[in-house]
Structure 1
Amino acid sequence: MLLPGSGWEPVSGGESATDVFRRGAVYAKCCGPAGVEELQAERERVEWLAGTSMPGASVLDWIESDEGAALLTSAVPGVAASELPWSEKLVAGFASALRSLHDLPVSTCPFERPLTEVLGLAEDVVRRGAVNPDFLTDEWRLVEPSELLARLHAELPEVASKADLVVCHGDACLPNFLFDPDTLEFTGVIDLGRLGIADRHADLALVRAQLADEWSVDADSFFAVYGLTPDPQRLDFYHLLDPLTWG
């Protein structure tokens, strides 16, 4: 085992291919040799974000061998928004936190997430027949993944022409934004493997879907605090694109 010492307890949840463990105030993500490059990319993103005004984890150690790699980070205080009951204050805090991330200067971010690259990832997942139906809406499950992909290709030129590039989280879901359970103050963001410069609607589309799925509320109050009336076409486009990239 790559991890030093004993007392590591497995942590369940998340969509990452890594194994996650916790010991006290330290988290560890572990992967085999095939996942080292991806985990190293996440380490670089955690290190970069730690140098900004955005609260999050710090890298404590990096262990690499023929067995794979382990990324050790500090635990971020608070609990995931998904573990808290809906409230206007929590939604407002979520909106403010995401806006703060999106307002980080693009010129300082060394990571990019080009739309063509993300679409290429979706093409690979569809080609391998690896689309997870659990990530699709009831309507989308009735359609062949290749047809869903064709819909994205048809809209790509227009969507790309309207891109509004910011520092995106890449997986802006409720479990990745942490809050103090008593005060509902934002305490930090986690799981940065997909962080990079992209159209802000890539994050906003996931937020809209999460608010509906987890709390059965629309995103109007979120967008009001965030300070933007989003583009419906891009929201729909990125909402469909995301589930095709996990496989």
Structure 2
Amino acid sequence: MTASRFDERQGMIPVDRAGLTARVAAAAPRDFAGFRQTGIELMLLGRFEEALDHLDRALELADADASDGLGSPGQRRISVWLNLGDVYRYQGDLGTAERLYRRAVEASRECAPAPELLSFAVQHLGKALAEQGRLDEARALLAEAQQLRIAEGDSELIESTRVALETLDQSPIPLPPAIASLLGDAPTFSVEHEGLSGGVAFVNGVYWMKRGPRAAAEHDRLIWLRGRGIRLPEIAAFDSDVLLLADAGVASLARAAVPATVGATMGALLRRLHGIPVQECPFDGRLATTLAQARRAVCEGLVDPEDFDADNQGSTPERILARLHEQRPQESDLVVTHGDFTPANVLEGAILLDVGALGVADPYRDLALAVRDLGDDFGPEAVAAFWTAYGLDSPDQRRLDYYRLLDELF
């Protein structure tokens, strides 16, 4: 591999960037080794989306002919999971990185002939947890990696783990200056809150904090939505990849008690959002984009079939993806969609949350999730009130079913 140095905040940095860029430009990978190598090199260049594409292809080829000496199919998958985890980690998506590292650790523990692979997996996971400030968990994993490496007798790897343990207290990624100055010297964080997805922390009882590429995407969309007739949370600060939103002081509609009010509020709000001129929107949520995202999630094993709706229990992510391609509808009457329009993402007062997936798409991208959750949580009265407020008399059931199926992979 091209020579590189390591920086904990930026990942692997190529020493000869120009040479590596030329090498990647000339690459024409055709097999597992080629796609993996080019994926790693793209990661070194910070071209993360391209790196993910190449590593996903390597993962698909992991079961191919293993005569190249790169290990069994199981060992190949573990190595690519670690590489994928690195890409997500270096671009700031620590949650996804942790999931991939954990899968690599679990698989490595079952792969007895490759103790070195286990030491790499354990160390990667330990360092990722350390960056999140979970130092006790990180210390236990790094100590395990050290013992594995001592048993193997590789002095360079032993030293790597020793340094990681020695600098553990310096590992948590600091908050950017604008965020740190607002939160003070000893902020309090809570991840125990209602109605919101993971990756969100409630800070000092006043702010909601997100970080990583999804936070940056949400910030861009919040800025764009300002002045377009949609009530939004106030941006308290944004720096680097950290977004701080002021708490609105009200609950989400998921906690509301009057079904008709919930349905009517959501229907009226969605009608306003869908009424924004699409030619003004720079963000894309159409099927070419979302199906590519779904394919990546399936390939990387990020979809949990146990979370499927009741009518899809027993199916697999691969089969769901195949059905989505087989049944793909024409996209017509494009609008500005939210992408995850549920009662949990609307506050009392019709304040819209979690707009990181907002983009131009078929309106049924939102309609399907809205009526699903309203029906499940509030019953037919809420659904009827929603359709009345939205202004659609005869919804297309086939498109409702399709976009509900698509959501299984997200």
Normalising by the residue count of structure 1, what TM-score does the alignment of the two structures yield?
0.83
Alpha-carbon separation, structure 2, partners of 1:215 and 1:242: 20
Q: How many residues align?
A: 226
1:226 alignment partner, one of 387, 390, 394: 390
Matched letter for residue 210 of structure 1: D
Residue number in structure 2 paired with 1:8: 188
Give the secondary structure class of the aligned counterpart of 2:380: coil
Deviates more, 1:84-93 or 1:110-119: 84-93
Residue number in structure 1 paired with 2:375: 212
Alpha-carbon separation, structure 2, partners of 1:89 and 1:187: 11
Residue number in structure 2 paired with 1:196: 359
Give the secondary structure class of the aligned counterpart of 1:79: coil
Q: Does 1:55 align with 2:231?
A: yes
CA contact (8 A) 2:309 2:408 kept: no
Q: CA deviation at 1:164?
A: 2.1
Residue number in structure 1 paired with 2:96: none
Alpha-carbon separation, structure 1, partners of 2:283 and 2:307: 26
Give the secondary structure class of the aligned counterpart of 1:78: coil
Bigger-Rg structure (1/2): 2
More helix as a share of residues: 2
CA contact (8 A) 1:80 1:175 kept: yes
CA contact (8 A) 2:203 2:209 kept: yes
Residue number in structure 1 paired with 2:274: 102
Q: Does 1:45 align with 2:221?
A: yes
Residue number in structure 1 paired with 2:263: 91
Q: CA deviation at 1:215?
A: 1.9
Q: CA deviation at 1:134?
A: 4.4
Residue number in structure 2 paired with 1:182: none
Alpha-carbon separation, structure 2, partners of 1:43 and 1:92: 27
Residue number in structure 1 paired with 2:86: none
Which string of whole-angstrom CA distances, capped at 9 and with x for unpartnered residues, describes residues 39-69 of structure 1?
21111111111232110023232222xxxx3
Cα pair distance change 1:23/1:134, threshold 3 Å: farther
Residue number in structure 1 paired with 2:404: 239
Q: CA deviation at 1:128?
A: 2.3
Q: CA deviation at 1:172?
A: 0.2
Larger RCO, structures 1/2 (Cα 8 Å, 6+ apart): 1
Gaps spanning 5+ residues in structure 1: where?
A: 180-185
**RMSD of Structure 2 on Structure 1 (CA):** 2.0
Q: CA deviation at 1:109?
A: 1.8
Alpha-carbon separation, structure 2, partners of 1:136 and 1:211: 17
Residue number in structure 2 paired with 1:132: 304
Deviates more, 1:130-139 or 1:92-101: 130-139
How do 1:169-188 and structure 2 match up within 5 A?
A: 169-179=338-348, 186-188=349-351
Alpha-carbon separation, structure 2, partners of 1:109 and 1:23: 34
CA contact (8 A) 1:38 1:193 kept: yes
Gaps spanning 5+ residues in structure 2: where?
A: 1-173
Q: CA deviation at 1:24?
A: 4.7
Alpha-carbon separation, structure 1, partners of 2:375 and 2:308: 14
Normalising by the residue count of structure 2, what TM-score does the alignment of the two structures yield?
0.52
